[in-house]
Amino acid sequence: MNIHEYQAREILTAHGVPVPPGVVATTPEEVERAAQQFGSTVVVKAQVHAGGRGKAGGVKLAKSPAEAKDVAGKILGMRIKDLPVEKVLVAPAEDIASEAYVGMILDRASKRVVVMVSREGGVDIEEVAAMNPDAIRKLAVDPRYGLLPYQAYSLAVSLYDDIRQQRACAKILQQLYAAFLSSGASLAEINPLVTTPDGEVKALDAKFNIDDNELFRRPDIEALRDTSGEPEAEIQAREAGLTFIKLDGNIGACVNGAGLAMATMDLIKFYGGEPANFLDIGGSSNPEKVVNALRIITADPNVKVICFNIFGGITRCDDVANGIVTATQRIKIDVPIVIRLTGTNEDAALEILKNAGFSATTSMDEVVQKAVELAGAGK
Amino acid sequence: MSIFIDENTKLLVQGITGRDGSFHARQMMEYGTQVVGGVTPGKGGQTFEGPDGRSCPIFDTMEQAVAATGANASVIYVPPAFAADAIMEAAGAGVPFIVAITEGVPVLDMTRVYAYVQDAGVRLLGPNCPGLLSPGKSKVGILPGQIATPGPVGVVSRSGTLTYEVVYQLTNAGIGQSTCVGIGGDPINGTNFIDCLEAFENDPETKAVVMIGEIGGTDEQQAAEFVSSRMTKPVVGFIAGQTAPPGRRMGHAGAIISGSEGTAAEKIETFERNGIGVAKKPSDVVGLIQAVL
């Protein structure tokens, strides 16, 4: 899950990281009042789950409250990477002497949290990694001991020459590590970490991604979820315990298991069709899930055919068959449904479907070819 | 032979009285796995009733269970909140092979778990995996036993149902398997492709290997290099997620493409460069395997 910059700043502040003041606003008038309150040049920043906000025109300086109101009017309501901007962060513009990068990620290769620091702050760290990898220092944190003070200090020394700034940065790194753990992050970045002309070290911008698997035990973090800009169907799917991603095609896919769901999308494309979605009904044996899945798929007007691909293991085929029958009784489905079922309780499932007037196959290739044909595409 | 489990595997089931744990304990017993006991705190001293009059004792702790049964493997069906502790409890009790089925384990928990099992010197498979199956000998996890048949092909995969699909196709074509392993779809897991490839290379019964990967990360690329530099047995592959949009998590926590790292195209290219034939669709795996056997 992504959270906004202003939310990330609140997490950092709660852990003691020095963050300049800021106000979240949803109207130009609120922005104007905030700018009056700060009484200085302010920066108005779009709060949206997309990178490249600055380049897209979503970050602007304003020298007066009137100008702040004016730029806020332009930013609020604009779309960045197709996401609507509904909130902005207003903060006093800082005098900046230097910009550095500090970040932490859950690293699959080392199987640890890796801390990364670079003197080249304020730019995309992926760009630095590609152009000048030597400019990034990395440290894999041993989970047995956490980020040790000397390690944090050693990283800080690579960023700053002044002892006060080195100490301030080391402290910030340890605070960021604590924030990472307590929020269940998979990524936490302060970019840029700035120094001001009078020598202070401050976090000017922050980005946190949260590991979805953490949310069950962190209701305070789950509460930060912003669903604006998220397709309605994906929100409904999440609430129904399904994994759904909308795509642009016309073949609605309903599959159990993420790997098989991806392979089904690929096979649809292989036979010349276009998938309308990725949908994993998961490993549960609940017919209600199938009903919800069909409701979500059929809400997409592009869908011309629905293709089930179920390999029963922990999922029982008869439960899926019952779900299909129940769904077609409860909701009006105008498009054809093609079904592949095999595995646990396959015979019972085929019987249930036959009695309800459906036919089913046990071959994945066959069902996908049929779906592509019915969608009016294909080789 | 087979890898990791065989007819001598003596298994404990952690979470044996839960909904999934009890169902799959019965399924494993039915398949012929030696399920020697289960653990559920507070239910020690009770008996778990399996199919056909079979049963096994339930213990409060893994320490008690291992001492009483001499188990050499364990499988975990406990909810995500308790999974990390369950894995470490098994490692602490000296179980040499631990399979974690649980889906949704926080990745930060896994950083600690991984260090713990490394220190204990034991092997962890998973989490978020379907387990493994050595046809005709033993099954640990949730794979449907009836789709597999004994034979010379090792199967290793990050996915669950996609593994079943490939195993089913092989069996239908009359090609049996030595062991089918699902390593799981999470970013941090205990056993990776290379661990399984190395075990298959050293297993005399295995003559060829099917490796089923998916988008996200670089495990498949490293595995491909291992195949060309260290393996004598032929390996064929399949990669799921060729049509996946970047930046979206496709169900598996590990299945996300970020930047150029982990795309299907990149993985397929690396496979082919390292002499691994890549199936264009799951059913093509059969032809590729027939050609190398």
Question: A54-58, A153-157, A189-193, B32-36: which range is least confident on average?
Answer: A54-58
Work out how many domains chain A is built from and give that number: 3
A86 and A116 belong to one structural domain: no
pLDDT on residue A322: 92
Q: What is the mean pLDDT of residues B72-101?
A: 97
Q: A365 with A265, same domain?
A: yes
Strands (E), chain A: 23-25, 42-46, 59-62, 79-80, 83-84, 88-92, 98-107, 112-118, 136-141, 185-195, 201-203, 206-210, 243-246, 251-255, 277-280, 305-312, 337-343, 360-361
Domain positions in chain B: 10-125, 144-292
| CB of A272 closer than 8 Å to CB of A371 | no
Q: What percent of chain A has pLDDT over 90?
A: 78
The reported pTM is 0.93
Q: Rounded to an integer, what distance in angstroms lies between the CA atom of residue B173 and that of residue B287? A: 9
With tokens 């207003």, the residue in question is A90
Per-residue pLDDT band at A343 (split at 50, 70, 90)? confident
Q: How many CB atoms lie within 10 A of CB A272?
A: 13
Share of chain A above pLDDT 70, in %: 99
Specify whether A177 is catalytic: no
| pLDDT class of A315 with cuts at 50, 70, 90 | confident
Q: What is the mean pLDDT of residues A153-165?
A: 98
Contact A118, A93 (CB under 8 A): no
Task: State whether residue A275 sits within 8 Å of chain B by CB.
Answer: yes
Minimal Cα–Cα distance from A195 to chain B, Å? 30
**pLDDT tier for residue A155 given thresholds of 50, 70 and 90:** very high
Question: What CATH number should be reported for the domain holding residue A136?
Answer: 3.30.470.20
Note whether B48 and B40 are within 8 A (CB): no
The pLDDT of A279-284, averaged and rounded, is 82
Residues of A in contact with B212 (CB under 8 A): 259
Give domain status of residue A8, yes or no: no
- Residue A11 falls inside a structural domain: no
Give the residue among B244, B247, B239, B241 at the shortest CA–CA distance from B221.
B239
Residue A50 contacts B, CB cutoff 8 Å: no
- Asked whether residue A102 falls in the same domain as residue A87, the answer is no
- At B76 the pLDDT is 98
CATH of the domain at A76: 3.30.1490.20
Name the average pLDDT for chain A: 93
What is the average per-residue pLDDT within A262-291?
Answer: 90
Q: Is the pLDDT of residue B258 over 80?
A: no
B159 with A312: Cβ contact below 8 A: no
DSSP one-letter code for A44: E
Question: Radius of gyration (Cα) for chain B, nearest Å?
Answer: 18
Q: How far apart are the first and last CA of chain A?
A: 39
- The predicted pLDDT at position A157 comes to 98
Which 153-212 residues of chain A touch chain B by CB within 8 A?
A: 181, 184, 186, 211-212
Q: Do A263 and B217 touch (CB under 8 A)?
A: no
Instruction: Out of B26, B123, B139, B252, pick the active-site residue.
Output: B252
Residue B21: closest C-alpha in chain A: A314
Of B105, B251, B280, the CB nearest to A270: B280
**Residue A177 maps to a domain:** yes
* Rounded Cα gap, residues B65 and B86, in angstroms: 13
pLDDT of B68 above 70? yes
Q: Are residues A351 and A336 in the same domain?
A: yes
Question: What was the pLDDT predicted at B253?
Answer: 55
Q: State phi, psi for A104 to the nearest 5 degrees.
A: -140, 140
- DSSP secondary structure, A200-237, as one string: -EEE--EEEEE-GGGGGG-HHHHTT---TTS-HHHHHH
Mean pLDDT confidence for A91-108: 95
Do both A82 and A114 map to the same domain?
Answer: no
Q: Can you tell me the distance from the alpha carbon of A230 to that of A234, in angstroms, rounded to the nearest whole number?
A: 7
Closest residue of chain B to A268, computed from CA coordinates: B243
Compute φ and ψ for B88, nearest 5 degrees: -70, -35
Q: Which residue of A has its CA nearest to B214?
A: A259
CB contact under 8 A, A257 and B159: yes
Tokens of B164: 């079943």
Percent of chain B with pLDDT over 90: 88
What's the confidence (pLDDT) of residue A76? 94
pLDDT greater than 60 at residue A321 = yes
| Residue A320 and residue A251 share a domain | yes
HEC sequence for chain B? CCCCCCCCCEEEEECCCCHHHHHHHHHHHHHCCEEEEEECCCCCCCEEECHHHCEEEEECCHHHHHHHHCCCEEEECCCHHHHHHHHHHHHHCCCCEEEECCCCCCHHHHHHHHHHHHHHCCEEECCCCCEEEECCCEEEECCCHHHCCEEEEEEEECCCHHHHHHHHHHHHCCCCEEEEEECCCCCCCCCCHHHHHHHHHCCCCCCEEEEEEECCCCHHHHHHHHHHHHCCCCEEEEEECCCCCCCCCCCCCCCCCECCECCHHHHHHHHHHCCCEECCCCCHHHHHHHHHC
| Fold of the domain built from segment(s) B144-292 | Rossmann fold (3.40.50)
Query: From B189, which residue of chain A is nearest by alpha-carbon distance?
Result: A111
Answer whether residue A377 shows pLDDT above 80.
no
Q: Parallel, antiparallel, or unpaired: how do β-strands B123-125 and B97-100 relate?
A: parallel
- Rounded to the nearest angstrom, the minimum Cα separation between B106 and chain A is 5
Contact A88, A25 (CB under 8 A): yes
What is the pLDDT, as a whole number, of residue B143? 92
Convert the pLDDT of each residue in B130-177 to its tens digit.
999 999 999 999 999 999 999 999 999 998 899 999 999 999 999 999
| CA–CA gap between residue B227 and residue B223 (Å, rounded) | 6
Let me know whether A323 and A218 are in one domain.
no
Domain with A162, as residue range(s), is 98-222
Q: Do domains B10-125 and B144-292 have the same CATH topology?
A: yes
Name residues whose C-beta falls within 8 Å of residue A347's C-beta, 6 or more positions apart in sequence. none
CA distance to partner chain B, nearest, from residue A252 (Å): 14
Name the band, by pLDDT with cuts 50, 70 and 90, for residue B213. very high
For A259, which of B111, B161, B217 is closest by C-beta distance?
Answer: B161
pLDDT of residue A214: 97
CATH entry 3.40.50.720 includes domain B10-125: yes
Q: Specify the CATH number for the domain of residue A366.
A: 3.40.50.261
Pairing of strands A360-361, A136-141: unpaired
Contacts of A207 in chain B (CB under 8 A): none
Instruction: Give how far Cα B149 sits from Cα of B63, B71, B169, B171, Å.
Output: 35, 26, 11, 6
Q: What is the dihedral of CA A9, A11, A13, A14, to 10 degrees?
A: 160
Encode pLDDT of A1-58 as tens digits: 999 999 999 999 999 999 999 999 999 999 999 999 999 999 999 999 887 888 889 9
Count how many pairs of residues, chain A against chain B, have C-beta atoms within 8 Å.
Answer: 160
Report if residue A7 sits inside a domain.
no
SS (H, E, C) A139-198: EEECCCCCCCHHHHHHHHHHHCCCHHHHHHHHHHHHHHHHHHHHHCEEEEEEEEEEECCC
Q: Nearest residue on chain A to B144, judged by CA atoms? A: A313
Residues A101, A120, A160, A177: which is the catalytic one?
A101
Q: Answer whether A258 sits within 8 Å of B107, measured CB to CB.
A: no
| Pair (A111, A134) in one structural domain | yes
A77 confidence band (pLDDT: 50, 70, 90): confident
Q: Per-residue pLDDT for B257 more than 80?
A: no
Question: ipTM of the predicted structure?
Answer: 0.91
With a cut of 60, say whether residue A112 has pLDDT above it.
yes
Same domain, A136 and A48: no
Out of B161, B249, B253, closest to residue A256 by CB: B161
Q: Domain end: A92, A127, A146, which one?
A: A92
C-alpha–C-alpha distance, residues A278 and A94, integer Å: 44
Kindly list the residues from chain A whose CB atom is less than 8 angstroms away from the CB atom of residue B107: 106, 186, 211, 213
Question: Which residue, among A105, A314, A319, A366, would best test binding to B if mutated, counting the most B CBs under 10 Å from its CB?
Answer: A314
Domain-ending residue, one of A200, A222, A244 = A222
Whether residue B80 and residue A213 make contact (CB cut-off 8 A), yes or no, is yes
8 A C-beta contact, residue A332 and residue A323: no
